[in-house]
Structure 1
């Protein structure tokens, strides 16, 4: 059959229809899992979400089997009545009654009434719960039920780690790596089930792997830490094994698919419920069972899990595990296209040809599939014992067919809970709401040497002048450029020409010093929109007369906001100015404008942010760092406060306070990293040379005092020379 004679959707056989449904659902899940996040985290418990999904799938499967059970009884009714009617007709032809005597007309009527009564009884069976439950129990052999319980453990691992993966990486990358299960699945099927993979299928698998590698290629190294790829590899391997195991279970007996689903989902519901309570005991900040389901994203995640479970089971029943893997590969291609649009992921120029190769490989696999044999080779005890030995080895006695299957299931359950608890604990403080390149480490360790890198090598330096002093630009740019990805110069009247464009990524001409935060907002917006700046992970804002020594910020958490915690004005949030002290801005009624802005934000963004409409903040705002993951939040809140307008030393602290309250996992786990060791304040002057040498940051330097400023710039020049150099690791 050629490519052009493929049947249309309405005529697809069950295998292709199930695979098509799987593709649609996987693409939807990739988008929903990211959309349901808030600040890189989920407001609901992953284990409770999976438990609810398994419960809903159990209800659906139970309903489907109930209908099948009624149909079976209906068919049995018609067969019984047919035999009864044939027997009665034969008796009537002979003119005999049931006991062999001659039948009278009155007896004939009684016979017809008896048949009608029997028909009513059989065609309207009493659908009692006991009979239905017994039918469920009798449908599957005991070893198959234990097999599905063990399979449920695999899906507990898969379904819970997928939430972690969507926090750590973007949907396209996740689906891309998971597509590698085609090769792993084929190997498992060969060695475990003795499945014959023909040469054409092997060529399709190799071609698909090449296509995946092509789409993943991106100059500049890996996009995520090694730990993220290890978790992806672990989940991929578990997924491959479970795919083969699921296929083998579904095809080992010719029984109802719905009862198989009931067994799998019922086991999964119980296991995930137990897992939820265990994690709640270990992790104090784990959300409650019904916490966080007020948003549409959380509910859609549950529904998508319901549909993908049904689609996957249909694939395993009517197709095979490798077709499921190719369906995953196709959905990967779709997600690779939508991820740059929805999640600001850089799209490699090789995605188009690589994805095309993946599609061609999927078609070649379908063409190379040999026809299914109608004869079934008996599964003798000898062959079954050989397969068990190959799959389980010395643990065969603890498998679903073994003598100690209950003990094996208990041990496997404990191991599964332990693995998930360890993964959650190890990554409890990590978040990847930002789908861009992961924050770089301050040094790449290699043996006893470390490479010195700037912690800001992927960050933009936003340097602000409140007045036009262009002669200071060269020394600032030449001194700081080696440490930053790029620099942005903000200075009034920077451009002498009256151009329509007053700002781009590297400069702006913002005039109002009181609302400079809105110029920062514009730069953030441009960084998000420009496909060439997707590697920039944050903005470091500071005044030109402040000093910042970049290498001394290597130990800071780059997933957090950094903000000054110093005097004049001290960072504090309040509802009244009575207890704060004498700040000049109170006399100018800046606090009233701040309160007005907060109330407007509370009204407009109530569903998205946690905002106290009567609370505003104040703080020293000459140096701060905003990670890329909070750019959109900064933009949204800045637009509201700028419209009032709110003074920058009230607006910026209020913005980051709202972001902190919204995304912190607990009141004791703030996302703000205080900069408490910076010298000076908003208006302090004349630091000593010793102050600059002993403090990594401060404000403000007097550029007319060259004996002091040269200390800072000479230190920057010396430190820039060691960037990229390897030095001895002293264990620090």
Structure 2
């Protein structure tokens, strides 16, 4: 009984932390893109995030292996002597790099609550990639929830809520285009990484290290292609404030923490977490940015939250149901006879 209570408490802890991190990251990133007078280079923030993730993954692998010698052997075997694996993991590295940069573009042009709601389009995108790449099937309820979610996002974008305290010029079309690219990247990269993980017994942290090493190279290339001259002139950390550092920290820890949370929670809890993050982001946007809620925005937000919950409901075991129906039919025939 005590173990069960501890398990429930731990799951609630995971749920709470995941919700707060998701909502805080979105609102804080939005804040840094509209308040700071000397705007930092988003490409450097994405690169720095990959570096921190690599360091944290090395720490987790060190804990998993137990000794420095085993850690060294694991790195030699899976990193230095596995160029094919590094190349394989470079695919999601490139895709995630694009996704993370698109998040900065989107939150420079859209409110945090609008972004949080629209970004849930990653669910149908991930579902489609799962069907095509992993040969899985979705239930009728899941397909229904996918269409409901798309309808909710359409309502949110139909008459977007306006933030009265934001004085900078924004391009909502550019913001929505950035989110569209981000959700496609999220769906493909997530399913691709899952497929790679399940193709062998290699440790999750080893796979993360392989991916983040490629990610650092990719994002560094992105820094110098996009902002190379400005970075050389003003410095890599130009425009960095405590808020920007906080955003980088949340991005680094949030991604790794999510993988841990997935292990100990189910889809229903993740659905509640996403819905709660949307509500928190909306409240924060109203308070911090003067977001004005419209009827279409509220209706769309409600549809999105309900669809997330429905999508996470466990599938019914149809084979079990068919057996039960067969047993009932047999009993009915015996009674009839």
Query: TM range, normalised to the smaller chain?
Result: 0.7 to 0.9
Q: Distance in 2 between matches of 1:337 and 1:213?
A: 21
Q: Which SS does the other structure have where 2:313 is aligned? A: helix
Provide, for residues 303-338 of structure 1, a one-character-per-residue CA deviation record: whole Å limited to 9, x for no partner: 111112203434666789999788545523432232
Q: Which SS does the other structure have where 2:40 is aligned? A: coil
User: Who is 1:694 aligned against?
Assistant: none
Q: Distance in 1 between matches of 2:172 and 2:305?
A: 29
Provide, for residues 252-306 of structure 1, a one-character-per-residue CA deviation record: whole Å limited to 9, x for no partner: 323322112222222222322232233343557974212233x210110111111
User: Who is 1:337 aligned against?
Assistant: 283
- Structure 2 regions of 5+ residues with no counterpart? 163-169, 318-337
User: Who is 1:28 aligned against?
Assistant: 24
Provide, for residues 113-141 of structure 1, a one-character-per-residue CA deviation record: whole Å limited to 9, x for no partner: xxxxxxxxxxxx7x34xx52221243586
CA contact (8 A) 2:47 2:220 kept: yes
2:228 matches 1:281: yes
CA contact (8 A) 2:115 2:179 kept: yes
User: Who is 2:8 aligned against?
Assistant: 11
Equivalent of 1:252, from 192, 199, 224? 199
Equivalent of 1:183, from 124, 131, 138? 124
CA contact (8 A) 1:23 1:330 kept: yes
User: Who is 2:252 aligned against?
Assistant: 306
CA contact (8 A) 2:110 2:172 kept: no
**What TM-score do the two structures reach when normalised by structure 2?**
0.76
2:55 matches 1:55: no
More strand by share: 1
User: Who is 1:368 aligned against?
Assistant: 314
- The 1:258/1:219 distance shift into structure 2, 3 A limit, reads closer
Equivalent of 1:132, from 71, 85, 97? 71
More helix by share: 2
Q: How does 1:647-666 map to 2 (within 5 A)?
A: none
- The 1:136/1:156 distance shift into structure 2, 3 A limit, reads same
Equivalent of 1:239, from 163, 186, 198? 186
2:166 matches 1:227: no
Q: Distance in 1 between matches of 2:237 and 2:244?
A: 11
**What TM-score do the two structures reach when normalised by structure 1?**
0.37
Provide, for residues 83-140 of structure 1, a one-character-per-residue CA deviation record: whole Å limited to 9, x for no partner: xxxxxxxxxxxxxxxxxxxxxxxxxxxxxxxxxxxxxxxxxx7x34xx5222124358
- The 1:324/1:11 distance shift into structure 2, 3 A limit, reads closer
Provide, for residues 637-657 of structure 1, a one-character-per-residue CA deviation record: whole Å limited to 9, x for no partner: xxxxxxxxxxxxxxxxxxxxx
CA contact (8 A) 2:106 2:174 kept: no
- The 1:320/1:182 distance shift into structure 2, 3 A limit, reads farther
- My pick for the range that moved more, 139-148 or 312-321, is 312-321
- RMSD of aligned C-alpha atoms? 3.6
CA contact (8 A) 1:152 1:268 kept: yes
Equivalent of 1:290, from 237, 251, 255? 237
- Structure 1 regions of 5+ residues with no counterpart? 1-6, 71-124, 372-732
Q: How does 1:118-157 map to 2 (within 5 A)?
A: 127-128=68-69, 131-139=70-78, 143-157=84-98
- The 1:148/1:22 distance shift into structure 2, 3 A limit, reads farther
- The 1:219/1:361 distance shift into structure 2, 3 A limit, reads closer
Q: Distance in 1 between matches of 2:195 and 2:60?
A: 22
- The 1:143/1:330 distance shift into structure 2, 3 A limit, reads farther
Provide, for residues 408-427 of structure 1, a one-character-per-residue CA deviation record: whole Å limited to 9, x for no partner: xxxxxxxxxxxxxxxxxxxx
Using CA pairs below 8 Å that are at least 6 residues apart, which structure has the higher relative contact order?
Answer: 2
CA contact (8 A) 1:251 1:317 kept: no
Q: Distance in 2 between matches of 1:184 and 1:9?
A: 35
Q: Distance in 2 between matches of 1:346 and 1:286?
A: 40
- The 1:236/1:318 distance shift into structure 2, 3 A limit, reads same
Q: Distance in 2 between matches of 1:266 and 1:158?
A: 17
Q: Distance in 2 between matches of 1:205 and 1:188?
A: 13
For residue 363 of structure 1, report the CA deviation from its aligned partner: 2.9
CA contact (8 A) 1:139 1:256 kept: no
Q: Which SS does the other structure have where 2:291 is aligned? A: coil
2:62 matches 1:66: yes
For residue 214 of structure 1, report the CA deviation from its aligned partner: 3.9
For residue 42 of structure 1, report the CA deviation from its aligned partner: 5.5
Provide, for residues 150-209 of structure 1, a one-character-per-residue CA deviation record: whole Å limited to 9, x for no partner: 211111111122222221111111122211121122112112221111222222323333
Provide, for residues 559-598 of structure 1, a one-character-per-residue CA deviation record: whole Å limited to 9, x for no partner: xxxxxxxxxxxxxxxxxxxxxxxxxxxxxxxxxxxxxxxx
- The 1:324/1:363 distance shift into structure 2, 3 A limit, reads closer
CA contact (8 A) 1:200 1:368 kept: no
For residue 62 of structure 1, report the CA deviation from its aligned partner: 0.7
Q: Distance in 2 between matches of 1:278 and 1:63?
A: 31
Q: How does 1:563-574 map to 2 (within 5 A)?
A: none
2:103 matches 1:162: yes
- The 1:255/1:325 distance shift into structure 2, 3 A limit, reads farther
- The 1:321/1:181 distance shift into structure 2, 3 A limit, reads farther
For residue 27 of structure 1, report the CA deviation from its aligned partner: 0.4
- The 1:270/1:151 distance shift into structure 2, 3 A limit, reads same
CA contact (8 A) 1:280 1:286 kept: no
Equivalent of 1:355, from 295, 301, 305? 301
For residue 38 of structure 1, report the CA deviation from its aligned partner: 5.5
Provide, for residues 523-562 of structure 1, a one-character-per-residue CA deviation record: whole Å limited to 9, x for no partner: xxxxxxxxxxxxxxxxxxxxxxxxxxxxxxxxxxxxxxxx
User: Who is 1:171 aligned against?
Assistant: 112
